[in-house]
Amino acid sequence: MAKKLMKKICLLGDGAVGKTSLIKKFVDDSFDDKYIKTFGTKVSKKQVVINRPEDEFFLTFLIWDILGQRVHNNLHSTYYKGAAAAFIVCDVTRKETMDKLEDWISVFRGVNDAAPIVLLGNKSDLLDDKGPADAQIKAVADKFNLSYHLTSAKTGADVEESFLELGNEVITSFLKGGA
């Protein structure tokens, strides 16, 4: 018999890296290139089916789209409480957002030290040569033993796969007694 789970996940990263666009692509299969700044947080919901050798899971993601401006770390930390996992997103066309990945990891880990994290290098469709961005994100992923994907909310490249991978990590954590 299938198991039902509902888990909170956070999308974190600097402003204008495409967090809201990634969520829209995953939840609604839509894309809009108009930038709308997120104030506070917005929660979206989507259910996926994840088949595992031992069972089938109906996993409902409660996806928290959290403002990218970390003006008050205490406020951000409050949003992270109870999260089963996180995507930390950067814009592969803006090096400064890739340079801040480790900061985002540290702040999230300060609240959820064992929750799975997947790094996303978004806007990969805008790069002719993905090599430098891929290498920089891979170095951070390797340092923290995380997985990563180069995504595009516009084309949908690796968006669904990233959410399903994070879902599998959430289920593995849940089965081990995690959040």
Angle (deg, nearest 10), helices 101-111 and 73-80: 60
Per-residue pLDDT band at 126 (split at 50, 70, 90): very high
pLDDT tens sequence across 65-93: 987 765 545 666 788 999 999 999 999 99
Q: Name the CATH topology of 3-175.
A: Rossmann fold (3.40.50)
Terminal CA-CA length for the chain = 21
Lowest mean pLDDT among 35-39, 109-113, 128-132, 145-149: 35-39
Helix (H, G, I), strand (E, B) or coil at 87: strand
Sign of torsion over alpha carbons 82, 151, 41, 136: positive
Phi, psi at 83, each rounded to 5°: -75, 135
Q: Is the pLDDT of residue 120 over 80?
A: yes
Angle (deg, nearest 10), helices 101-111 and 131-144: 30
d(C-alpha 77, C-alpha 176), whole Å: 24
Look at the pTM and tell me if it is higher than 0.85.
Answer: yes
pLDDT tens sequence across 26-50: 999 998 776 565 555 789 999 999 9
DSSP letters, 112-126, are -TTS-EEEEEE-GGG
